[in-house]
Amino acid sequence: GAVVSQHPSRVICKSGTSVKIECRSLDFQATTMFWYRQFPKQSLMLMATSNEGSKATYEQGVEKDKFLINHASLTLSTLTVTSAHPEDSSFYICSGDRGTYGYTFGSGTRLTVV
């Protein structure tokens, strides 16, 4: 089946630094990728939609200058958390749109900001 590879799976960073998370679709082309954030015991919250070759669309309340999204190719989308703070600690998940077959999700990245 379709696979989305997400790296790193876990990262710990110091407050004020930036962290990049990569998502690659391994066996399909993802014109559109979605980025979610999930806090403990909560559901997934959509942060932004990234379209290959164009600017990402952010959900209300998500700071585009803090969460930089790049979707430079049909198989790679990246999320950079800039100037991270402890409140950015969360589980970040990407997914690729496979049309009728729905979405294929990455395995997630556990970000801890200390």
Q: What residues make contact with other proteins under the rule CB under 8 A?
A: 1, 4, 6, 31-32, 34, 36, 43-46, 49, 51, 91, 93, 95, 97, 99-108, 110
Q: Where are the alpha helices (DSSP H) in 21-108?
A: none
Judged by CB, which is closer to other proteins: 81, or 104? 104
Nearest Cα neighbor of 30 from 102, 107, 108 is 102
Report the 10 Å Cβ neighbour count for 113.
Answer: 20
**From the CB of 9, what's the least distance to other proteins, in Å?**
9
**From the CB of 62, what's the least distance to other proteins, in Å?**
13
DSSP-derived 3-state class of residue 48: strand
**From the CB of 15, what's the least distance to other proteins, in Å?**
23
Residue 64 backbone class (left: φ over 0; alpha: ψ -120 to 50; beta: rest): alpha
CA distance 86 to 106: 23
Judged by CB, which is closer to other proteins: 23, or 84? 23
**From the CB of 80, what's the least distance to other proteins, in Å?**
19
